Structure 1
Amino acid sequence: MNIAKSILNFALLACCVLFTGCNSDDDSPLTFYGDEYSVRVGVNEGIPFTGGTNDLSVKVANPYLLEASISQLKGLVVTGKAVGRTSIAVSDNGVTPPVNKTLKVNVVPMNLAFVVTDNQSGISIFNAGNGIFLAKEGSNYNFYVVERNSSLDKIHAKGTYSFSVESGRPYITMNFLDKGQSMSVKFSLDSTPLGLLSILQRYLDPETLKDFKNDNASSDGQYLMMSDVTASSKYIRAAFSPVYVLPPSVFGI
């Protein structure tokens, strides 16, 4: 996959995802790397910038959609609240005349990306190198597949998914078309690391996944392990890749 415009710096902290941006502490003017950004509902994300003084202020055009503030590290931290488009006015009041910047912001549904590193499932849409995006769109759970070396707005396949927990064991069931054939495949997530399962729980389905157990967890905290319940030799291994975020056009924004 190619990143059309990625503005996210990701830090995985146990069960928390936090994005931060910061600027340099010099006399250069306040400068952002672009004028349009995408953020996800329910996640603190940082829009990095350089320069500027310590006297910065921010104002969100539609606070129903987005919250924004300057952190102590002088990062512009934004949190998506609802899907839509808005803008942020950032002013540097420590210079004369003040420097004013307006950023366009698209708030998209929560979506988490995984890049397939090994596909032994026999399902062609999950070929190695393809990206799987698990999205939560209101009450709908949809997934999107982007082919390797394709831009993120070029959706190769899509379907629906749901989580379940049985006797403490977590599962994901995926419904989709592969080579024109309708398929519904149930995968065990039992070998997925605790930290990654906790992220799935927190950001995608807090209620269903609250009681999962993880006795057989992999030692590698970066990989989603999905094993076909009908045959353990059929599996998909995908690397958690939070730098990728689906663009607003995928969601009709």
Structure 2
Amino acid sequence: SRAQPPFPPSQVERLLAGCNSWQFDTWGLHEASGGHALSALGFFLVQREGLVERLRMEPLTLARLLRTLESGYRVNNPYHNSAHAADVLHTLHVLLHGARLTEHYLDSLGLMAAYFAAIIHDYGHPGLTNDFLVASSHPLALRYNDRSPLESHHAAAAFSLLAERPDLDITSGLSRSERAAFRKQVIELVLATDMKQHFAILNHFNTVHHLSANTANNNNSGGSEISPQPSAAANSTGRQQPPTAPQSSQPPPRAQQRHQQHGGTSAQPAR
């Protein structure tokens, strides 16, 4: 039978309606949807943001792909499972919209790349660390030359799925250049989830931030009354920078309790 777009019952719809809040209950959605939090949230966000229409996707293809990716997360993996991927997808969504990056920085293709990267970022995770894979000469470590073997595997396996299954290829409506840009952005985002890259990425961010702030300050101090200069929130090109994202509040007791009941802790990193 043909796969149908996930059309959630009222309880799931009520939970999805709160996806813009930090208090969103991922575990509640996981339970209410019968273990399909990732596909339900993924379809809801992509559809609501207008990406299906703007990126010329077939809704049924998207639904099939999300369910297939969801099934690729191991149920017996206590942390890197599909519920974790749904949690990361929600966190990314709130950060992007809270910082207004969708208004100032991301276009439709970039937003879809970000969502897709969150959805696949632990796809097929074996429940082992990169260090263990390298130390044990695991086939994944050998295949990817000990460099981010898990993250490389997640991205490669997901894109292999699109290549091998035309009925799952949500990029078929894109131009060649759009497909290449989408693939490049997704791969970079997934590889960046390797925590060994954390400090390099953070240092790069801080460097760019300081350079932009210094340039803006210099422009402000050397400006004239006739020709207004960019504000301190603008970069060297004059493009307005998005405001700082709101700080996260603690998860609600109910969601925290559910997370602990499922074998997690109250402060798991969103990776």
Instruction: Compare the two structures and name the one with the higher helix fraction.
Output: 2
TM-score by length of 2: 0.24
Higher relative contact order (CA 8 A, sep 6+): 2
TM-score by length of 1: 0.25
